[in-house]
């Protein structure tokens, strides 16, 4: 299995531009997670999907952030408009089942907003 796939791996954009991050979970997994990691705040859960339905989006920082999961094999995290404070590494993770199961993380997308 290829693992969790994220694209792009690096993104540099200017303030005010729209940014779309993409994630392909591991086939057969029914839970998908978006995290953000910064030096100041560490690793934070942004949103969590189960069976393509958003379960908990309390970590989404503000309305500029939105996430979708149109099917079991694809999810997007969109920032519109982007701001310099959105600069971070964004990780996508997937897992199977409900309960104490391990999560598999992708390699992350490093976002820089200038």
Partner 1 sequence: DAKTTQPNSMESNEEEPVHLPCNHSTISGTDYIHWYRQLPSQGPEYVIHGLTSNVNNRMASLAIAEDRKSSTLILHRATLRDAAVYYCILKANNAGNMLTFGGGTRLMVKP
> Given the rule CB under 8 A, which residues bind partner 1?
4, 31, 33, 35, 42-45, 48, 50, 55-56, 91, 93, 95, 97-108
**Choice between 33 and 65, CB closer to partner 1:** 33
Select 17 or 27, whichever has its Cβ closest to partner 1.
27
Nearer to partner 1, 45 or 81 (CB): 45
**Least CB distance to partner 1 at residue 77 (A):** 15
3-state secondary structure 35-104: EEEECCCEEEEEEEEECCEEEECCCCCCCCEEEEEEECCEEEEEECCCCHHHCEEEEEEEECCCCCCCCE
């Amino acid at each position: 299995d290829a693992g969790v796939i994220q694209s792009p791996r690096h993104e540099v954009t200017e303030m005010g531009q729209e940014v779309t991050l993409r994630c392909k979970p591991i086939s057969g997994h029914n839970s998908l997670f978006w995290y953000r990691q910064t030096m100041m705040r560490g690793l934070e859960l942004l949103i969590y999907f189960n069976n393509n339905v958003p379960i908990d989006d309390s970590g989404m920082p503000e309305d500029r952030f939105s996430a979708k999961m149109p099917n079991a094999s694809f999810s997007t995290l969109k920032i519109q408009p982007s701001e310099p404070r959105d600069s971070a590494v964004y990780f996508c993770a997937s897992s199977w089942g409900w309960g104490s199961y391990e999560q598999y993380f992708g390699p992350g997308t490093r976002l820089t907003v200038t």
